[in-house]
Amino acid sequence: MKGVKKGVCWLLICSLSLCLTGCWDSTEINGIAIVSAVALDKSDDGQILMSMLITNPGKISSTVSGSEQKSSTGQATILLSEKGTGVLDIYQKIQAKLPKVIYLSHLRVIVIGQDLAKEGVSGILDFFTRYRESHLRTEVVITKDKAVDLFKINTEYEKLPSESIRKKTQLVLGSKSTLLKFFNNITEEGIEAQVPEFETGPFESDSDSKDNEKQNPAVVFKGTAVFKNDKLLGFLDDQKLKGVVNFNGSTKLGCITIPIPKEKGGGFVSLRIPESSTNISPMIQNDKLEADVTIKIEGRIFENESKLDLSDSKVISYIESLFKDTLNQNIKPLLNTVQKDFNSDIYGFGAAFHRKYPEKWNAELKTHWDETFRNLPINLNYGVTISYVGFLTKSLGIEEKALIK
């Protein structure tokens, strides 16, 4: 009998404690609006304009359970915008428009417009680091356009612009640009943040059809945005883009085109760069600061438009020397811009000094690093190898005699 009483007691304790829990925190998947990207802009009247790209899962996956092949009306994403004084304020306003709870755990990309970024971003990004649903793996990108325009594109493979942007950052830049990295860079001494820059551009670069650009825009990686503390300074793009890619080094898809001088027959050779690494080694000699940068690059020739005979090792070493020159041409002006124009140590020369000479850094260097960095002599060394010339050595279609050794 005692055992039965004890059992009943336990049963009561267990079953009644269930009433205490409730299901306050529980939300069914049907009840959440999954935000995949957020765009932050400055509105005309000086407020913040935030847009949320909310996914419509039923339209994303091709095989929708339940019914056979629904008629594909409706978009894969819903774009909602609102103006307000702060992120949470806007969050509340957007929530008022939605029948589902906004859910930020799957936020993949935060796009910031350049107008807003120039005024500093740590204020508006604070919400995304503090809120319990956010996480620091979210990618941060900058655009010269209005940030929200990046969501108004026709996506190619990905049904979500956010996925498209995220994948491109990783493919083209070779590294992620997460909130974590961003805040690490702006808080660490001796290094500044750089963030990938995306713009909308036409899918087809056909100059004749101008309206194509408007109808069918794509999101294109354009370069990187340079920050000083949390403020945007400017962009490294167009001409500097090659240098950025070469210097950053970690990309798998990088390629470089080397022009061959006229006396060697003209044309060009193109290389793929599957692997490269950049190493900064700071030096202090007689109180003079100097930095050696060693860029090790392995190139694989995949296109030879010139008349050079690639079966000859002398030719290969000649191309290697040209390769070095090309790299130098790309990187020299880049470093110049970074040092002189922006004066923002995005590659972390200061951090390298900090690591190697911590006492000296704390005692004097850090107080006037900006000035020191502006005039820091940087020696560029290249370790260039061409490891592979493709399936062909001698180009087809060119007679043996015409080949230049």
Residues that bind another protein (CB under 8 A): 3, 7, 18, 21-23, 25-30, 32, 34, 36, 55, 57-58, 60-61, 64-67, 103, 105-106, 108, 133, 135
Q: Smallest distance, Å, CB 131 to another protein?
A: 11
Distance CA 339, CA 247 (A): 14
Nearer to another protein, 88 or 101 (CB): 101
Give Cα separations from 294 to 140, 258, 277, 278, 382 (angstroms): 29, 20, 8, 6, 6
What's the min distance (Å) between Cβ of 138 and another protein? 11
Q: Determine the straight-line distance between the first and last CA of the chain, rounded to whole angstroms.
A: 103
Nearer to another protein, 67 or 313 (CB): 67
Q: How near is the Cβ of 57 to another protein at its closest, in Å?
A: 4
Nearest distance, CB of residue 248 and another protein, angstroms: 26
Q: What residues contact residue 204 under an 8 Å CB cut-off, 6+ apart?
A: 212, 216
CA dihedral 17, 18, 20, 21 (to 10 degrees): 130
Whole-number Å distance between alpha carbons of 165 and 134: 19
Beta bridge partners of residue 141, listed in sequence order: 111
Smallest gap, in angstroms, from Cβ of residue 395 to another protein? Answer: 44
27 or 209: whose CB is closer to another protein? 27
Q: How far is the CB of 251 from another protein (least distance, A)?
A: 24
Whether the CB-CB separation of 68 and 88 falls below 8 Å is answered with: no
Which C-beta is closer to another protein: that of 159 or that of 272? 159
Rounded CA separation 304/264 (Å): 13
Question: Strand 378-388 to strand 268-285: parallel, antiparallel, or no bridges (unpaired)?
Answer: unpaired
Pick the closer one to another protein by CB: 167 or 355. 167
Residue placing its CB nearer to another protein in the complex, 31 or 266: 31
Residue 153 C-alpha from the chain's centroid: 18
